[in-house]
């Protein structure tokens, strides 16, 4: 095996040219095998195998830096930079990350996970090097989908003025996570005369440079001439207008052609854009035929590409079904997403109501402000974005939604613990970021029925901004309590009487009065673990009732204090960061109450650190939020 002998890019550089196609084939096989076992980003990585080999063949990483935008396409890069032996552990607890990671390798300059940041990061790194006298190259690899993000344009605009040794490789695969939308994707496809223009331009430059004495004066004339030629061949090349040299489009699977172009670009003392066209899922037919399904995928059967399915309904599927029902009843409902229609459950709505569905590309800020405009025009927009990505839109939520009190529902999928994607994708900051914003009502459903009621409440009973969060998980067992309609500010009280029969516990009212009583207060996304803990405690002779925070804001303080005084201990469980969260607020509320018989309060939430790889239960355990941790906190509150 060739890959077995590649421990760094230096080993790649001495490899015979004829061995490169075999190496590419081995890399693809390894990626398919590991992603089949662990899940991960398959299609995007299969599409950049030849591109990655060409980059490491030409550039001298880590002296030269290769910056991967989003970095979910960095698997070939990891295999070529000394991590092949650890690759089977990718995305597992204590294993390597599915994204670039500074602590893993000196070939990774940045921890990445969100789109559109590579050009800005690369430009900052390059500028620092220049100030320190270094003359190395920095290569930013960015997909056409990530170029729909405004930050990428900000970086390009600045780089064209400032950078000398910056090379931007635009990986054009006609896909982001869902099919690319907007004018920029089609714009890239129109840049077909560019190679003709570039070839002519560089031949003229070479001739002029060889003419002694006259080259300076002749250069000005030639510059005007070239502008005219550019006008003939390339009427609107954005990159050239921003100050870049432009080459492309190139076949992103032709290693020899890319190596030749990269070698030339390496010698150009100006910023360069190299446009390569690749095929997502290259070399694995299930991923080639359905690249969006194999973008981020769970474990699957590598022989036929069949993905594992779960019998129980997920929160996302529940949302999707309820939104279809609401959309049929109300033609003012519109749905907005940022390149995540499948992941957020909007795919069915997009097919049923295409004129009321809007995928804005990887542009979360625009998605929120666009929704504010829809609301101003009389529509009821529902913006579906992952919790981790809504972080980009905090200013827009404050200024363009909340300040103007727009009736807009923002639904946050993948809130709380997010399996296997590591630090960059956890949904643990949304409560602390958005709960303090005036005019916003913030809901946290715990079950399928609860989700339906909360969504119906946001659409039909509000005329203000509403945020609803839920986890990447299956809907837990329903209890009768969740059938009641929302009362503003109040949670859902689940008595142990509801679940005691299901675990075979029998007790008299007299016995119950003598038992120690604890109240679990939890966000909806962690109700399943809380319910399991409550059942366990009941078997140990401790009455554990549950109060789920259907409303994170507003919060009916008087109602809660009346409820809380009936318990010996209270445990507040929040699947978000403790600092600035709702748990701290409720703890303070109980402690400052004038009730002389105050219960002891324990708070468990995500600590002040970032979260590593692992499945849901492993993440919760590492954060002190496991079922055992909940039980132990309850016992501590009763001491």
Catalytically active residues are: 280, 364, 392
Comparing CA positions, the residue from 424, 282, 426, 307 lying closest to residue 35 is 307
The CA distances from residue 591 to 127, 537, 568, 588, in Å, are: 52, 25, 14, 5
Find all residues with CB under 8 Å of 490, minimum gap 6, and list them: 550, 551, 556, 559
> Residues near 110 by Cβ (< 8 Å), separated by ≥ 6?
67, 71, 100, 102, 121
Cα distances (angstroms) measured from residue 245 to each of 59, 271, 338, 516, 611: 18, 6, 30, 74, 41
Our CA angle for 611, 614, 618, nearest 5°, is: 90
Backbone angles phi, psi at 330, to 5 degrees: -135, 110
Segments of 6-83 assigned E as strands? 40-41, 65-68
Q: How far apart are CA 366 and CA 427, in angstroms?
A: 20
Torsion of CA 31, 33, 36, 37, to 10 degrees: -110
With CA atoms as reference, report the closest residue to 479 among 561, 548, 525, 415: 548
DSSP track, 385-444: EEHHHHGGGHHHIIIIIITTT---EEEEES-B--SSS-GGG-B-SHHHHHTTSTT-EEE-
Distance, CA of 558 to CA of 490 (rounded, Å): 10
Q: Rounded to an integer, what distance in angstroms lies between the CA atom of residue 623 and that of residue 637?
A: 19
Name the strand (E) or helix (H) holding 155: helix 150-162
| Measured distance CA(383)–CA(337) in Å, rounded | 6
- Cα dihedral 313, 317, 322, 327 in deg (nearest 10): -160
Strand partners, 468: 411, 443
Q: Residues with Cβ < 8 Å from 188, sequence gap 6 or more?
A: 144, 147, 170, 172, 249, 275
As a dihedral over the C-alpha atoms of residue 364, residue 367, residue 368, residue 370, rounded to 10 degrees, the angle is 150
Question: Residue 450: which H helix or E strand, with range?
Answer: helix 448-460
The whole-angstrom separation of Cα 625 and Cα 634 is 12
**Alpha-helix residue ranges (DSSP H) falling in 167-293:** 183-189, 194-209, 215-233, 238-241, 255-267, 285-289
Q: Is 39 left (phi over 0), alpha (psi -120 to 50) or beta?
A: left
Q: Give residues with Cβ within 8 angstroms of 532, minimum separation 6.
A: 627
């Amino acid at each position: 095996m060739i890959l077995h002998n590649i421990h760094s890019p230096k080993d790649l550089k001495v490899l015979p040219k004829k061995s490169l196609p075999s190496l590419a084939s081995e890399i693809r096989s390894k990626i398919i095998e590991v992603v089949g076992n662990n899940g991960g980003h398959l299609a995007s990585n299969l599409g950049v195998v030849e591109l990655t080999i060409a980059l490491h063949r030409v550039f001298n990483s880590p002296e030269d830096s290769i910056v991967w935008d989003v970095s979910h396409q960095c698997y070939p890069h990891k295999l070529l930079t000394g991590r092949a032996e650890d690759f089977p552990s990718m995305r597992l607890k204590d294993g390597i990350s599915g994204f670039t990671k500074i602590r893993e390798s000196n070939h990774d300059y940045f921890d990445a996970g969100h789109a559109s940041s590579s050009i800005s990061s690369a430009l900052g790194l390059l500028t620092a090097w220049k100030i320190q006298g270094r003359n190395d190259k920095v290569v930013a690899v960015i997909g056409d989908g990530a170029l729909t993000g405004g930050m990428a344009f900000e970086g390009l605009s600045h780089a064209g003025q400032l950078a000398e040794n910056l090379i931007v490789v635009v990986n054009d695969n006609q896909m982001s996570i869902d099919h690319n939308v907007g004018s920029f994707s089609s714009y890239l496809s129109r840049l077909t005369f560019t190679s003709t223009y570039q070839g002519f331009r560089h031949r003229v430059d070479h001739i002029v440079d060889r003419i002694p004495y006259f080259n300076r004066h002749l250069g000005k004339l030639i510059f005007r001439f070239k502008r005219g030629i550019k006008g003939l061949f390339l009427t609107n090349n954005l990159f050239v207008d921003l100050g870049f040299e432009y080459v492309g489009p190139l076949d992103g699977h032709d290693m020899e052609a890319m190596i030749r172009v990269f070698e030339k670009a390496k010698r150009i003392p100006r910023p360069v854009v190299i446009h390569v066209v690749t095929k997502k899922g290259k070399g694995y037919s299930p991923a080639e035929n359905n690249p969006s399904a194999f973008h981020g995928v769970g474990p699957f059967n590598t022989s036929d590409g069949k993905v594992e399915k779960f019998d129980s309904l997920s929160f996302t599927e529940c949302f999707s079904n309820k939104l279809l029902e609401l959309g049929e009843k109300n033609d003012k409902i519109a749905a907005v997403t940022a390149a995540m229609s499948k992941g957020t459950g909007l795919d069915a709505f997009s097919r049923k109501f295409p004129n009321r569905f809007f995928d804005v590309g990887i542009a979360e800020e625009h998605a929120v402000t666009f929704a504010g405009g829809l609301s101003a025009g009389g529509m009821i927009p529902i913006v579906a974005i992952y919790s981790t990505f809504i972080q980009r839109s905090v200013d827009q939520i404050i200024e363009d939604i909340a300040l103007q009190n727009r009736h807009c529902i923002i639904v946050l999928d993948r809130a709380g613990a997010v399996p296997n994607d590591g630090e960059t994708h956890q949904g643990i900051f949304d409560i602390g970021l958005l709960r303090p914003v005036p005019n916003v009502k913030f809901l946290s459903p715990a079950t399928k029925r609860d989700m339906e009621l909360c969504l119906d409440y946001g659409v039909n009973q509000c005329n203000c901004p509403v945020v609803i969060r839920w986890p990447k998980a299956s809907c837990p067992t329903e209890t009768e309590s969740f059938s009641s309609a929302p009362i503003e500010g109040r949670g859902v009280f689940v008595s142990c009487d509801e679940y005691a029969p299901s675990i075979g516990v029998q007790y008299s009212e007299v016995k119950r009065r003598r038992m120690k009583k604890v109240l679990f207060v939890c966000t909806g996304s962690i109700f399943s673990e809380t319910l399991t803990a409550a059942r366990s405690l009941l078997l140990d002779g401790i009455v554990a009732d549950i109060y789920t925070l259907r409303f994170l804001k507003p919060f009916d303080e008087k109602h809660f204090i009346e409820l809380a005084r009936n318990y010996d201990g209270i445990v507040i469980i929040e699947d978000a960061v403790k600092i600035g969260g709702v748990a701290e607020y409720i703890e303070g509320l109980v402690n400052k109450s004038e009730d002389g018989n105050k219960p002891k309060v324990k708070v468990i939430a995500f600590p002040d650190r970032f979260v590593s790889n692992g499945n849901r239960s492993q993440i919760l355990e590492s954060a002190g939020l496991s079922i055992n941790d909940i039980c132990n906190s309850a016992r501590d509150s009763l001491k």
